C-alpha cells in the first residue's frame, strides 16, 4: 500500500507530489494520470493563444519562491520573457521551468474510474481494470467540463474541447463568445490567422491584473478568510473573484484591434444559435460560419464523473457553487484530499490557479511532515488487475 496516491497529472497534482516528496522523502508516493504531465494545461494554453501567464513570476511549480527567476537567468531567457510590474512569465519560460522542476518518477499511466473506501485507506480503480491502494488519496482532477450555455448547439465548438481545431480557411466568419481573457486571446489568435472574427460579450471589456483580488495571494486577506465562518466564505469568494476581466496587455491588444476594425465586437445577450449564425434577445442577428465558445468551465463536476460520484457516494458537503467542505489539511473525508477549485473554501479564490497549487502543496507538505512518525506503507507500488488474476 502506498502512503500517497495523487490522482491527476496536471499543475496541482504534480506540484503536490513534489511538495510531499520534499517534506517526507521516506513516504511512498505515485501519481496516476491518463495523459503526459501537464498535457491538458498545455493543450488549453495553445488553443486560446496564451503568450504570457496571468500569474506573477512568483507563481510557478518550483519549491522556492524565486525558482523561476533563477531558472530564467541560468537558461538565458531574456527580459522579453517577463511582462509588466508583476513580471508575468511567458508561456515558453513557464513550461521550460515546469519540465525541469517536476519529477515524473513513480508516475502511473491510467485513468481513475472509481474510488473505494477501505477499512484503512482507499482503493482507486482504473478504467482498464487495475486498482491501487493508498493510505491517502489526493484528487487533483483539474477543471470541470467546459461550460456550454443553454442556447449552444452541438456544432458550437469550445476552445477547451479536447479535439478543438482553430484552423479554418481565411475569411471564415467566426464568432468568439466569451468576454474574459480566453475569449480575447482566442479572438486575437483567430484574427491573426486570417479569420473574420466577431467577439461577442455580455459586458464591456474590463481590465484587471488578476482574475481575483491579489490580496488573497498572501495572509492579509487569506487569514481573515480562513477565520470567517464557513457559511460566509462562499460570499467572500464571489466578491473576491473577478471573472470576465483582462490583464493590461491583453486589454491593450484587443481594444487596439477593435479600434482598427481588425476584430468586430457585439455586446449583447444571445438567444439562440440558428443555421446562419447567432440571434440576440433584442432581435438582431449575427451572420457566422462558425461559433467558438470561450465560456470557461462548469462550477460543478460532470454527472457521473469521478468527483461527482465521490461527492454523492461519500455524502460530501458542498456549497451552492460546488466548493467542497473540508478541513485545513484539505481532507473532505478521512484520508481523501481535494485540490483545485473544490478546495476554495479553504484556499480562497485562487484555489484553482497556480497560486492555489502552491497553497495546497504547502498544506499537504506540512501535513506529511506531521505524519513522519506514522508507520510507513510498503515501498512497492501495489497494483492488481480485476480482469486477469493469473
Helices (H) and strands (E) in the chain, counts: 11, 21
Residue 168 has, within 13 A of its CA and on its CB side, a CA count of: 21
> What residues does 246 pair with on adjacent strands?
207
User: Region 262-267: what's the mean pLDDT?
Assistant: 98
Nearest-angstrom CA–CA distance, 151 and 279 = 10
**pLDDT at residue 390, rounded to an integer:** 30
- Written as nine digits, the cell of 159 is 476552445
Q: What is the pLDDT confidence band of residue 16, given thresholds at 50, 70 and 90?
A: very high
Cα(389)–Cα(272) distance, integer angstroms: 53
Residue 103 has a pLDDT of 74
Task: Return the exposure string of 67-104: e unless at least 16 CB atoms fall within 10 Å of the residue's CB, then b.
Answer: bbbebbeeeebeeebbbeebebbbbebbbbbbeebbee
The arithmetic mean of pLDDT across residues 360-368, rounded, is: 97
* Structural element, H or E, at residue 70: helix 67-74
Residue 82's H or E segment, with its range, is strand 82-83
Q: What is the mean pLDDT of the chain?
A: 93
For range 73-101, the mean pLDDT:
95
Rounded to an integer, what distance in angstroms lies between the CA atom of residue 357 and that of residue 368? 16
Whether pLDDT at 15 is above 60: yes
What share of the chain has pLDDT > 90, as a percent?
92
Q: In the structure, what pLDDT confidence band is assigned to residue 373 with cuts at 50, 70 and 90?
A: low
pLDDT at 385 over 60: no
293-351 pLDDT tens trace: 999 999 999 999 999 999 999 999 999 999 999 999 999 999 999 999 999 999 999 99
Q: Indicate the range of 101-110, 245-254, 265-274 predicted with least confidence.
A: 101-110
Question: For 32-46, what is each residue's pLDDT tens digit?
Answer: 999 988 999 999 999
Q: How far apart are the C-alpha atoms of 121 and 117, rounded to whole Å?
A: 6
Residue with cell 489568435: 189
Whether the predicted pLDDT of 374 surpasses 80: no
Cα 78 from chain centre? 28
- pTM of the predicted structure, to 2 decimals: 0.92
Task: Give the pLDDT confidence of 149-161 residue by residue, as tens digits.
Answer: 999 999 999 999 9
- How high is the pLDDT of residue 388? 32
How far apart, in Å, do the first and last CA atoms of the chain sit? 21
Give Cβ neighbours of residue 187 (< 8 Å, ≥ 6 apart).
176, 197, 199, 254, 257, 263
Q: Is-contact 202 179, C-beta < 8 A? A: yes
Give me the residue label for grid cell 468576454: 179
Q: Are strands 331-333 and 196-201 parallel, antiparallel or unpaired?
A: unpaired
- pLDDT the model gives residue 371: 81
Amino acid at each position: 500500500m502506498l502512503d500517497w496516491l495523487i490522482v491527476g497529472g496536471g499543475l496541482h497534482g504534480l506540484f503536490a507530489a513534489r511538495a510531499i516528496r520534499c517534506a517526507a522523502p521516506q513516504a511512498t508516493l505515485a501519481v496516476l494520470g491518463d495523459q503526459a504531465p501537464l498535457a491538458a494545461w498545455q493543450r488549453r494554453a495553445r488553443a486560446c493563444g496564451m503568450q504570457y501567464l496571468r500569474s506573477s513570476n512568483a507563481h510557478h511549480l518550483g519549491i522556492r519562491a524565486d525558482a523561476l527567476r533563477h531558472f530564467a537567468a541560468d537558461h538565458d531567457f531574456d527580459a522579453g520573457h517577463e511582462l509588466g510590474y508583476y513580471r508575468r512569465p511567458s508561456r515558453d519560460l513557464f513550461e521550460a521551468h515546469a519540465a525541469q522542476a517536476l519529477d515524473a518518477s513513480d508516475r502511473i499511466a491510467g485513468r481513475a474510474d472509481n474510488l473505494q473506501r477501505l477499512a484503512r485507506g482507499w482503493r482507486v480503480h482504473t478504467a482498464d481494470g487495475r486498482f491501487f491502494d493508498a493510505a491517502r488519496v489526493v484528487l487533483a482532477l483539474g477543471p470541470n467540463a467546459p461550460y456550454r450555455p443553454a442556447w449552444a448547439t452541438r456544432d458550437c465548438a469550445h476552445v477547451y474541447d479536447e479535439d478543438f481545431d482553430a484552423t479554418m480557411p481565411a475569411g471564415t466568419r467566426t464568432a468568439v463568445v466569451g468576454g474574459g481573457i480566453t475569449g480575447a486571446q482566442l479572438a486575437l489568435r483567430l484574427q491573426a490567422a486570417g479569420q473574420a472574427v466577431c467577439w461577442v460579450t455580455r459586458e464591456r471589456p474590463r481590465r484587471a491584473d488578476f482574475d481575483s483580488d491579489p490580496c488573497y495571494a498572501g495572509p492579509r486577506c487569506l487569514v481573515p478568510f480562513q477565520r470567517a465562518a464557513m457559511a460566509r466564505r462562499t460570499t467572500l469568494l464571489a466578491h473576491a473573484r473577478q471573472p470576465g476581466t483582462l490583464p493590461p496587455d491583453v486589454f491593450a491588444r484587443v481594444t487596439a484591434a477593435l479600434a482598427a476594425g481588425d476584430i468586430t465586437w457585439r455586446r449583447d445577450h444571445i438567444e439562440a444559435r440558428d443555421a446562419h449564425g447567432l440571434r440576440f434577445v433584442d432581435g438582431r442577428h449575427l451572420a457566422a460560419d462558425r461559433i467558438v465558445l470561450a465560456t470557461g468551465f462548469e462550477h460543478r463536476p460532470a454527472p457521473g464523473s469521478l468527483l461527482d460520484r465521490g461527492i454523492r457516494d461519500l455524502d460530501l458537503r458542498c456549497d451552492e457553487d460546488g466548493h467542497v467542505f473540508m478541513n485545513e489539511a484539505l481532507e473532505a473525508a478521512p484520508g481523501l484530499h481535494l485540490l483545485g477549485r473544490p478546495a476554495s473554501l479553504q484556499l480562497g479564490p485562487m484555489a484553482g490557479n497556480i497560486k492555489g497549487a502552491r497553497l495546497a502543496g504547502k498544506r499537504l507538505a506540512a501535513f506529511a511532515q506531521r505524519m513522519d512518525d506514522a508507520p510507513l506503507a510498503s515501498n512497492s507500488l501495489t497494483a492488481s488487475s480485476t480482469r486477469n488474476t493469473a
